[in-house]
Amino acid sequence: MLDLRAPTLPPELGERLVRDVYRRDFRERFAAIRNRDSWKLERRQHFEEQGSASRDALSRGDWDEALRLIEEQREDLLASVREDERRGSRFHRVRVVEKPLTPYLQWELYSLRQRAECGGRVRTISAEAVAASEGHGLLPELVVLGGRTLYEIVYTESGVPNGAVRYTDSEIVGRWESYIKELYGAGEDVESYFAREVAHLPPPTTNAE
């Protein structure tokens, strides 16, 4: 396990944003970043993503269609990575994985592998590796934008997106950015993880089947 303990995240220092406000705030701040990297930590093993045709296909139990729709996103991903490079800003993702994989996570790892194939920076890390930081609950879902803004992404109990809490205190942002960087450094590239742990798996069984 990593010796590093996760920093604290005092809720009283954050500002709660409803979903639409969060999405608008995120877009504006992300577009303004120049020559600074961003970092994302994903911990939950199940989400109810909205607005994703591929995710909808997974929910229906149509695995082939879900993968086909992921592949359709390739050109958009390539364009997004090129735009990040133009702005001198790379987006890094750390995905915590537990086994056995949930249907959602098995699906998401196909998407994350594709993102890496398009030049994105994605690594996985096991839940065991972060257990020392989870004595009082799971790590939060976080995004650090350009070293200046930290969002704790909020979900309902069933995994539906429900806005975020925004932090701009430089010490809080800096500590969490450093922590996610440590996890990224200790993680495994998603492509090698996928080849070993995911590629051979049969289609997941969902509630729709």
Q: What is the mean pLDDT of residues 178-182?
A: 96
- The span from the CA of 206 to the CA of 200, in Å, is 18
| 121 beta partners | 92
DSSP letters, 22-82, are: HHHHHHHHHHT--S--EEEEE--S----SS-HHHHHHHHT-HHHHHHHHHTTHHHHHHHHH
Residues 6+ apart with CB under 8 A from 73: 54, 111, 114
SS3 123: strand
Does the structure show a pLDDT above 90 at 47? no
The rounded distance, in Å, linking the Cα atoms of 135 and 189 is 26
Q: Which of 73, 57, 52 is nearest to 115 (CA)?
A: 73
**Does residue 64 surpass a pLDDT of 50?**
yes
What confidence tier does 1 reach under pLDDT thresholds 50, 70, 90?
Answer: very low
* pTM recorded for the entire structure: 0.93
Mean pLDDT of 52-70: 95
Over the chain, what is the mean pLDDT? Answer: 94
Q: With a cut of 60, say whether residue 2 has pLDDT above it.
A: no
| Mean predicted confidence (pLDDT) in 34-60 | 92
Q: Are 140 and 8 in contact (CB under 8 A)?
A: no
Q: Is 135 exposed, middle or buried (0-12, 13-18, 19+ CB in 10 A)?
A: exposed
Neighbours of 175 (CB within 10 A): 16
Q: Which two tokens stand for residue 171?
A: 């010490």
- Read off the pLDDT of residues 84-109 as tens digits, 9 standing for 90 and up: 999 999 999 999 999 999 999 999 99
165, 152 Cβ separation under 8 angstroms: yes
Which tokens sit at 78? 């390539």
Going by C-alpha positions, the residue among 74, 194, 66, 75 that lies closest to residue 124 is: 194
pLDDT digits (tens, 9 = 90+) for 154-169: 998 888 899 999 999 9
pLDDT of residue 208: 55
User: Does residue 29 surpass a pLDDT of 60?
Assistant: yes
Which has the closest alpha carbon to 101: 86, 92, 112? 112
The two structure tokens encoding residue 205: 């069984």
From the list 114, 122, 101, 121, the residue with the least C-alpha distance to 67 is 114
